[in-house]
Amino acid sequence: MKIRSCSFEVAAYRPQDYPRAPGPDVVFMGRSNVGKSSMINRLLGAKGLARTSSQPGRTQSVNFYRVNDCCWFVDLPGYGYAKAPEEVRRSWKPMVEGFLDARRERIALALLVVDARHDASPLDKTMLEWLEDKEIPFVIAATKSDKLSGNGRARAAAQLRRELGDDLLLVSAQSGLGTKDIWSRLDRCLAGARESKKDQSWTSKN
Ligand code: GTP
Ligand code: MG
């Protein structure tokens, strides 16, 4: 998909705040500080659109970005940030699970973002189970792979595939590695959403 426009729409804390306008969702979920917001910026070619930070816990709401007036990129708050205030930790689960339940039918693809340099965490595995249970289409995006050498990348991918399953792409928001692979998957999933005509907002220009 050629990006003609993208903009921040809303930071939602409750389902009532989600955008009402139709269009499929592309969802980014994963550990705090893993690089979800950076991946959104890289895929959209829009530096600084989603706010990023070297401090974990930057994204604490469900943030919607409107892309080409036809689909939504959704940045979910990260998990596993031990120093998050108690209130933030308590609100995370209902916020994310509430989102997945409310928008399940709309989700064209969820990207479960993990750090290519580390083993999957128990919370990553829990997320995977949620996605499988709710029958949400997903792919694992192992990011920050620019920090690994060629051999290291192959080893890391093999290890993560053992832990999380075969459907894994090595990517980097910094170097752009794997961006094309993600886009070809996304294009297929968005075309599938359009074909299923679940969503009437699609027009031939998209
Ligand atoms: P939360 O909003 O806290 O959940 O974090 P996030 O997952 O959105 O992470 P964010 O995109 O803010 O990135 C966290 C840090 O990792 C920032 O300092 C980024 O510059 C860095 N980063 C993200 N992606 C990459 C990557 O592919 N390679 C490298 N080297 N650094 C990256
Ligand atoms: Mg973020």
Give the CATH number, domain containing residue 47.
Answer: 3.40.50.300
For residue 203, what pLDDT is reported? 44
For residue 205, what pLDDT is reported? 42
For residue 63, what pLDDT is reported? 96
Q: Compute the distance from residue 115 Cα to the ligand 1 centre, in Å.
A: 10
Of 14, 123, 49, nearest in space to 79 by CA: 123
Specify the DSSP element, H or E, that contains 46: none
For residue 187, what pLDDT is reported? 96
Q: Is residue 204 part of a domain?
A: no
> Under a CB-based contact definition with an 8 Å cutoff, are residues 78 and 56 in contact?
yes
- What are the strands of the beta sheet with 6-12, ordered from one edge? 6-12, 62-67, 71-75, 25-30, 107-115, 138-143, 168-170
Protein residue closest via CA to atom 3 of ligand 1: 57
Report which ligand 1 atom has the smallest distance to the Cα of 143. 27
Mutate to test the pocket of ligand 1, among 33, 73, 123, 149 (most ligand atoms within 8 A of CB): 33
For residue 206, what pLDDT is reported? 45
**What's the structural domain count of the chain?**
1
Spatial separation of the C-alpha atoms in residues 148 and 144, rounded to whole Å: 8
Range of the domain at 174: 6-195
Q: Compute the distance from residue 39 Cα to the ligand 1 centre, in Å.
A: 8
For residue 198, what pLDDT is reported? 52
Report which ligand 1 atom has the smallest distance to the Cα of 41. 11
Report which ligand 1 atom has the smallest distance to the Cα of 75. 8
Tokens representing 161? 């595939």
For residue 10, what pLDDT is reported? 96
Residues of the chain under the 70 pLDDT cut: 57-58, 197-206
Residue 10 CA, chain-centre distance (Å), reads: 16
CB neighbourhood size of 66 (10 A): 18
Q: Compute the distance from residue 28 Cα to the ligand 1 centre, in Å.
A: 12
Q: Is residue 205 part of a domain?
A: no
Q: Compute the distance from residue 2 Cα to the ligand 2 centre, in Å.
A: 24
Mutate to test the pocket of ligand 1, among 39, 42, 52 (most ligand atoms within 8 A of CB): 52
Q: Is residue 75 part of a domain?
A: yes
Q: Is residue 206 part of a domain?
A: no
Q: Is residue 97 part of a domain?
A: yes
For residue 168, what pLDDT is reported? 97
Q: Is residue 18 part of a domain?
A: yes
Q: Is residue 78 part of a domain?
A: yes
CB neighbourhood size of 177 (10 A): 18
Ligand at minimal distance from the CA of 29 is 1
Q: Is residue 134 part of a domain?
A: yes
Q: Compute the distance from residue 195 Cα to the ligand 2 centre, in Å.
A: 31
